């Protein structure tokens, strides 16, 4: 917070004035007792008036500083809200591109890569691409409606994922040709917000696997011990002839942001056979 600098001469003037009054009160009665009582009365009146003036000035200054602080706080809150909204839109756009349009490109690439596919398999590939395209188009329209100024109440929101939705998340990933299995241990009570984050982690990890390794096999394992809940996703590496689709790592950055809300961490990197993404979330004392 900035403070206004007061000139040094102003401080010295105040000290000089107060000192002079003190000297007058002490010295004049000694020189002229008749004027002593009158002088004391005058000096006390001056000091009282000065005290009232200073108190009023201090009150006005405090109010001014408080208004300035409140204005800066409101500006900061507005800027923070804009930043959070940008991050939310960025995540939505990423999910749309990665899990919607990305699924279409992966499915089409796999269909072209498979020379011995029969007509039924190719028709299924086209059906999967059509469904993914329709879903992506619907989500894009919802987002454009919001950006054009509609209130959130006017636009149906995407359902928040829970642990019960994990099988459907696996099924969505398998439409790209990916083979995935999931093993869920005893997780105990998991807060709804953390369940949504777990769903986002698995969806993003499987989308990454499909883009970079093609229709390989992925393994999803959820477990917990006394202090930590873990989401471990591994794959068996790219299939032969698959050309990895490059990305900007926005998805992993978004997952780290989500996990940070739960004080969790995300590590990722290659293994001997493929790639691994591990999310770890510390449990609160009530959950332990």
3-class DSSP assignment, residue 5: coil
Of the candidates 162, 160, 158, 132, the one whose C-alpha atom is nearest the C-alpha of residue 143 is: 158
- 110-129-103-238 Cα dihedral, nearest 10 degrees: -10
The pair of structure tokens assigned to 225 is: 């011990």
The pair of structure tokens assigned to 276 is: 């691994």
**Which pLDDT score, from 0 to 100, does residue 33 have?**
60
3-class DSSP assignment, residue 130: helix
Q: What is the pLDDT along the chain (288 residues), one digit of tens a residue?
A: 444 455 555 556 556 666 666 665 555 555 556 555 665 666 667 667 777 787 888 888 888 888 888 888 888 888 887 777 677 776 666 666 666 677 777 777 766 666 665 677 777 777 777 777 777 777 777 777 766 665 555 555 556 788 999 999 998 888 878 899 999 999 988 988 899 999 989 998 998 898 888 889 999 999 999 889 999 999 999 988 787 766 666 778 888 888 998 999 999 999 999 999 999 999 887 766
Return the residue matching tokens 């009146």: 45
Of the candidates 109, 107, 137, 138, the one whose C-alpha atom is nearest the C-alpha of residue 124 is: 107
Tell me the CA distances in angstroms from 120 to 126, 127, 284, one per residue in order.
Answer: 10, 10, 51
* Helices (H), ranges, the chain: 8-31, 33-95, 102-113, 119-147, 166-174, 192-213, 250-260
Burial of 95 (0-12, 13-18, 19+ CB in 10 A): buried
Running DSSP on this structure, what letter comes out for residue 96?
I
Of the candidates 215, 214, 213, 231, the one whose C-alpha atom is nearest the C-alpha of residue 268 is: 231
- 37-41-42-43 Cα dihedral, nearest 10 degrees: 100
pTM, two decimal places: 0.58
**Which pLDDT score, from 0 to 100, does residue 2 have?**
47
Q: Which domains does the chain have, with CATH numbers?
A: 9-158 (no CATH), 160-288 (3.30.565.10)
């Amino acid at each position: 917070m900035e403070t206004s600098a007061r000139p040094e001469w102003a401080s010295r003037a105040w000290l000089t004035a107060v000192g002079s009054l003190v000297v007058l009160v002490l010295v004049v009665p000694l020189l002229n007792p008749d004027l002593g009582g009158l002088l004391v009365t005058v000096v006390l009146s001056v000091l009282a008036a000065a005290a009232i003036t200073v108190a009023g000035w201090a009150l006005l200054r405090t109010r001014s500083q408080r208004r300035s602080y409140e204005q800066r706080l409101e500006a900061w809150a507005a800027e923070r809200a804009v930043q959070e909204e940008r991050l939310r839109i960025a995540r939505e756009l990423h999910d749309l591109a990665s899990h919607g349009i990305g699924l279409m490109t992966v499915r089409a690439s796999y269909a072209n890569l498979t020379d011995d596919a029969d007509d039924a398999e190719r028709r299924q590939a086209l059906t999967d691409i059509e469904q993914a395209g329709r879903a992506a188009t619907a989500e894009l329209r919802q987002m454009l409606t919001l950006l054009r100024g509609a209130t959130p109440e006017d636009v149906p929101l995407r359902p928040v994922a829970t642990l019960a939705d994990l099988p459907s998340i696996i099924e969505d990933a398998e439409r790209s040709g990916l083979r995935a299995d999931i093993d869920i241990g005893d997780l105990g009570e998991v807060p709804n917000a953390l369940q949504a984050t777990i769903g986002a982690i698995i969806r993003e990890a499987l989308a990454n696997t499909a883009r970079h390794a093609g229709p390989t096999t992925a393994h999803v394992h959820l477990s917990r011990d006394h202090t930590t809940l873990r989401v471990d996703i591994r794959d068996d590496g790219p299939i032969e002839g698959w050309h990895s689709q490059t990305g900007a790592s926005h998805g992993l950055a978004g997952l780290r942001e989500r996990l940070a809300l739960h004080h969790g961490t995300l590590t990722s990197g290659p293994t001997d056979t493929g790639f691994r993404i591990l999310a770890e979330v510390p449990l609160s004392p009530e959950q332990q």
